Structure 1
Amino acid sequence: MSNLVQDCIFCKIIRNEIPAYTVFENDDVKAFLDISQVTKGHVLIIPKKHLINFFDYSQEDAAKYLQYIPKIAQAIKASDKNIKGLNVFVNNGEIAGQVVMHSHIHLVPRYDENDGVNVPHINHAAEYTPEAYQEVANTIKQHLS
């Protein structure tokens, strides 16, 4: 357990200073029930290294920590025959809704269309020309390392 922060609630969960309903744990990650339970079986996956969000990840961090998403998602689905889908959410930064500043991935099981979970989908396609799309793509490509 490297780079843990003293006052981070998720680091405290990793150190077992705060109880959690753990569903999976190894040397790399801990996965536990989100206390809010947006839907039954809502799980958080956190790295055992204090990373604030994906902007802090290296390629190695991503390979090390994100590889567990399918395994845990499959276990969630297998746990209840009524689960028909799963949303995977990651909020990066306060403006994106991140509340705890320790990287975490939400796995939210979906049971039916009327479960109260609303994932916004905003379509701005009419505001873009092919040239505008290409300009945005080119600008992002210039910053890949």
Structure 2
Amino acid sequence: MQYLIFEGIPDREHILKGILDLHDLIFNTELPLDELKQKKGVLVMAAVDHDTVVGYKIGYERKKKHYYSWLGGVDPRYQRQGIATELMRRQHQWCQEKGYLTVRTHTKNKWRGMLILNLRHGFDVIGTYTDDRGEPKIILEKKLAHQ
């Protein structure tokens, strides 16, 4: 497995297409790329197996020193192999190197695997809200350790 890191939207067309296709497969919706282009501090990571994107993680600066882990997922055929954990580990390492103090993410109860993964890796539930589709969302945040 190869892990690729892009500060900004990937300039390698087949990687970007792989991420877009994988997002559609997992969430049955188009990744809002135009929204991402408006963000600051964008980090896009891809897990690639034999030139095929099998996992991704996207985030951006929420506010100064605070990072938002926005979207991510792993191809169902590759789940339970530690890919999401490794993408998270690498994202948090990058955030620490860039001086971020916290990482925040939102998830839904129906995505139990992601909720459990976040809790296992030091996130705390700090709140909930109902999104514009009427679905409850869970807000999680993790403080990053600094040397």
Structure with higher Rg: it is 1
Quick check: TM above 0.5? Answer: no
Greater RCO (CA < 8 Å, at least 6 residues apart): 1
User: TM-score, length-normalised on structure 2?
Assistant: 0.40
